Structure 1
Amino acid sequence: MTGTFADLMATHPDAAQAIGAPSKGWLSFGGLRALAGDVRARLRSAGIGPQDRVAIVLPNGATMATAFVTVAASATTAPLNPAYREEEYAFYLEDLKAKAIILEAGYDGPALAPARRFGLTILWLHEDAQTAGLFRLEPDGAVVAARDGTPGPEDVALILHTSGTTSRPKIVPLMQSNIAASARHIATSLALTPQDRCLNVMPLFHIHGLLAAVCASLSAGASVFCAPGFNALAFFAQMREARPTWYTAVPTMHQAILSRAPRNAEVIGDVPLRFLRSSSASLPAQVMAQLAETFCAPVVEAYGMTEAAHQMCCNPLDRQKPGSVGVAAGPEVAIAHEVENSLIDGVGEVVISGPNVTPGYEANPEANAKNFFEAGGTRWFRTGDQGALDAEGFLSLTGRLKEIINRGGEKISPLEVDGVLMDHPAVAQCVAFALPHPKLGEEVAAAVVLREGCVATEQEICGFAADRMADFKVPRLVVILEEIPKGATGKMQRIGMAEKLGLVATT
């Protein structure tokens, strides 16, 4: 392995299935390699060199997956959320310094005007009607060819932005070698083989779907069936057609799937899964147990983030610890002092080091100085998460440092509050968060979704919590909702939840 993106699909048999989609024929590994060659030729003829940046704005599905894979083998990719508004596209395209943008043929949406305004080369994507993921690119207008070349391990393959919930989004460049290493780490931790097939329901403008579903599968010679986004109503029909051995999702997706599982028992029995994977947010222990019982398969919780090219820890296939995100699965994982640049035992900030970790934020020396440090001859990255390693090396998270609730000096883990509320028989989903308070600084609040057909009052839920945890940790406010607000990738976001729900401080 030379550590580049192209290595992911270099050695597998031509005839093996690589990419699938509903109601289409499979694209083979041979077909994917041929497509990568065609994309490279068309990029170069359109003036796009190995270090140039190509934004991709496409709907979720097989063509988004193959566009990402083939462009990343020849240039730098920058997948963007197709649901953005024009102002958001203008920010990201300018911030990325993109040279070109890939859009569906006939697209007339909000990405087009800023792309033209900034003088980007527009590459129209024409999708094949029969074969999943097959397409051709055609430039809009006159172009000047670029010199050919192949990206090396240190060249940037993928650029993503951090979520930017509390500040301006930071640019995270991931090198060819970062992507290749992460794909191999994930494939190894999941023991993926060419006999495996992933049903991808994750968005492909986000690191979770791109790396865990697509890249890890391709690196192992396995196949990916790409759904056009997540739809709980369609999931089991897709499962019947795709016949996957596994899928990966965020907890809210798993919970939606569970809600429809009883009426789809026949499909679950007919398409046995080898395992299920959960990442990108904490999986409640109760949901893990229910998933394992429903699908008669292990539920593997993993821990990832953009700066690590996704995976950092993963529960072993043969042993899962509910409430833990597993053992180090690729990079080194340690605990650091939250202020001082030193490693410690006990509870502290989770730090990582390894070949999958970004070399640093782009054009942001302040963020790099804050988030990277040297200790013991190793360069560590601060994840912003608080946690602890047990004697067996399993990592348990207590929450994002920015999400820890400070109630008059008492520090409260919102994940601990979630865990107690999820034990209430009427609670289907919950997210604890900080509510501004004029005297204490912050107070504990929680948003809750009730199970279908169940009834519970806010007072009952607070009383349930009061019987099970110290008084200062008990939510002073419980808001019962039909649906909890989520981010673009389906995660419930604690930071800013009070503002999203229109709540004000209570005395």
Structure 2
Amino acid sequence: MPTRLQTVKKIIDQGAKQHPDRPFLIATEGVDEYLTWSQLQTHAQEIDALLDDEGIELGETVAFLLDNGYWTTILFLGVMYSGRVILALNALSGPDALAYVTEHSDAKLIFTNEKFTSKFSDVFLQIPDSTKIIDTDETTGPAVEFPEINTSKTENKICPDSIAILMYTSGTTGKPKGVLLSHKNVIAGGRNTAVAHQLTAEDISLCVLPLYHINAQMVSVMGTLVSDSKLVISDKFSTRRFWQDIHHHRCTWFSIVPTIISYLIDHDGEGTSDKMMLDIKRQVRFGRSASAALSPSKHQQFEKRFGIHIIETMGLTETAAQILSNPMPPKSIKYGSPGTAFGNQAKIIKDDGSEAPTGTIGELMIKGDNVMQGYYKNPEVTKETITEDGWLHTGDLAYEDEDGFFFITGRLKELIIKGGENIAPREIDDILYGHPAVLEAAAFGIEDEHYGQEVMASVALCPGMTVNQEELLELCIEKLGKYKSPKQITIMDELPKGPSGKIQRLKLSA
């Protein structure tokens, strides 16, 4: 595992030298597209030459607004290889958020196509003339003729602290913030994944999450890059294709989010035979869940149905994804916990900044090579978020048990304070997820003249299943008591989510 190499360029160059014909990427867009390490290096050099030709300086930002694909992955890595900063624009962003990000990021060039320029026509009309748009197909690449690669070009001045990625947070409480991740940060993010999950060159990963998602970028792409393994990338998640792609490409692990776990349980192996599922069970070492809390009931239900270990983890955009992970088999996991610290330090602090005793709820803090350089054009918030000695305020409420496992109880801004008592939304969520009809659940607080805040909740149901509010309320009262239980539970078609797919409690409480 080439973890001593501290830039994306050096890792790609070494891989192309040591095993040029080994497959790195398979894109499953109807017809499988294979990419070797040598081809990855050549395409990255072509992108470097194109950006030189376009007058894009080292350190300037280049964006893409594309679905997953062969060339989307190449652009993501190739721009970093060239010494420029890559920005993956979120295709699920609303027009206002997308317009803000394109303007705030100072992107000099955007790779996209007619699908997105039509969808966001008003946004693209606002883009300054100085920002060039290059029409790009996710499979066949940019609709330009690449300049000849300059083989005599001197080594560009990329160093570990050079910025590699500009990634915007979902901005649920204000304008999105631009997270600056250096080459050292993104390699640490990939390394933390590889070490926690014991990845080797024999592993094959399936990525169904979009490449504008920090999970896909760091866990799937960078985890594959630093472990010299192979990546299978799908254009989008499909309950039917998920298991078929795993079986066809002999994948050994996958990274998904809790909502996908719920869908896979609900669709119960759609598109597979008993023999295929048996083969999958034998070949898959583990599945990985992150990006939101995974309820213990859904976790255990998935493992019982499919016979595949799910490793719950936790990551942040500001930490190049993974910070915590449960251990790999045969070691024991803890349901309801995203695990212990891997590749970075973690601690819990009290309100006064001192370290909290074991079992005491406080704010989770992280320190390590994966911690961001700061927020783009926002030094004030950067200073508030990262301490002088390098600890990152995550904004997550958590406690650490006697075995070093962390348990997330909520967000500082989402904590429900009813009559002076702190109530963690996660505690209520887990009870609601325990009902077989519940697909999504979120508890939240609303203002109340008597208690300060009152507990409420919303749920979305699995397709074809029904349950009424009274039954869900009775379940909560039975497990939590009346004081902590929601006053009301609203059944919705779908809960509001941010661009990364996380449920947005603050929108529910508005």
Alignment TM-score, normalising by the size of structure 2: 0.89
Distance 1:16 1:187 in 2: 19
Check 1:452–1:48 CA distance in 2 against 1; reply closer, same or farther (3 A cut). closer
Check 1:31–1:281 CA distance in 2 against 1; reply closer, same or farther (3 A cut). same
User: Does structure 1 retain, via aligned residues, the 8 Å contact 2:410–2:426?
Assistant: yes
Residue in structure 2 matching 1:60, options 51, 58, 68? 68
User: Does structure 2 retain, via aligned residues, the 8 Å contact 1:19–1:28?
Assistant: yes
User: Does structure 2 retain, via aligned residues, the 8 Å contact 1:433–1:445?
Assistant: yes
1:342 counterpart residue number: 354
Tell me the CA shift for residue 126 of structure 1: 5.1
Tell me the CA shift for residue 43 of structure 1: 1.0
Residue in structure 1 matching 2:247, options 208, 233, 240? 240
Residue in structure 2 matching 1:482, options 493, 496, 510? 493
User: Does structure 2 retain, via aligned residues, the 8 Å contact 1:250–1:279?
Assistant: yes
Residue in structure 2 matching 1:117, options 103, 128, 141? 128
SS in 1 for 2:506: coil
Q: Any residues of structure 2 matched to 1:223-234 within 5 Å, and which?
A: 223-234=230-241
Q: Any residues of structure 2 matched to 1:63-142 within 5 Å, and which?
A: 63-74=71-82, 75-84=84-93, 86-104=95-113, 108-109=117-118, 110=120, 113-114=124-125, 116-125=127-136, 129=140, 137=144
Range with greater deviation from structure 2 (112-121 or 407-416): 112-121
Distance 1:88 1:398 in 2: 29
Provide, for residues 205-263 of structure 1, a one-character-per-residue CA deviation record: whole Å limited to 9, x for no partner. 12111011111012111111111122224323333333311111110011111212244
Check 1:474–1:117 CA distance in 2 against 1; reply closer, same or farther (3 A cut). same
Provide, for residues 368-393 of structure 1, a one-character-per-residue CA deviation record: whole Å limited to 9, x for no partner. 2322224xxx4211100011111211
Distance 1:202 1:210 in 2: 9
* Gaps in structure 1 of 5+ consecutive residues: 140-145, 500-507
Distance 1:86 1:388 in 2: 38
Tell me the CA shift for residue 460 of structure 1: 1.7
Residue in structure 2 matching 1:392, options 370, 378, 403? 403
1:19 counterpart residue number: 25
2:7 is aligned with 1:4 = yes
Provide, for residues 312-361 of structure 1, a one-character-per-residue CA deviation record: whole Å limited to 9, x for no partner. 011111221101111101110011123x3332222210001000101222
Distance 1:411 1:118 in 2: 52
Tell me the CA shift for residue 362 of structure 1: 2.4
Q: Residue type of the partner of 1:219?
A: V
1:504 counterpart residue number: none
1:331 counterpart residue number: 344
2:61 is aligned with 1:49 = no
User: Does structure 2 retain, via aligned residues, the 8 Å contact 1:433–1:497?
Assistant: yes
SS in 1 for 2:472: helix
1:502 counterpart residue number: none
SS in 2 for 1:478: strand
Check 1:469–1:88 CA distance in 2 against 1; reply closer, same or farther (3 A cut). closer
2:455 is aligned with 1:444 = yes
User: Does structure 1 retain, via aligned residues, the 8 Å contact 2:67–2:138?
Assistant: no
Residue in structure 2 matching 1:313, options 321, 324, 331? 324
Check 1:137–1:433 CA distance in 2 against 1; reply closer, same or farther (3 A cut). farther
SS in 1 for 2:391: strand
Tell me the CA shift for residue 437 of structure 1: 2.6
Distance 2:450 2:383 in 1: 34
2:356 is aligned with 1:354 = no
Distance 1:302 1:10 in 2: 31
Alignment TM-score, normalising by the size of structure 1: 0.90
User: Does structure 1 retain, via aligned residues, the 8 Å contact 2:347–2:365?
Assistant: yes
User: Does structure 1 retain, via aligned residues, the 8 Å contact 2:440–2:460?
Assistant: yes
Superposed CA RMSD in Å reads 2.4
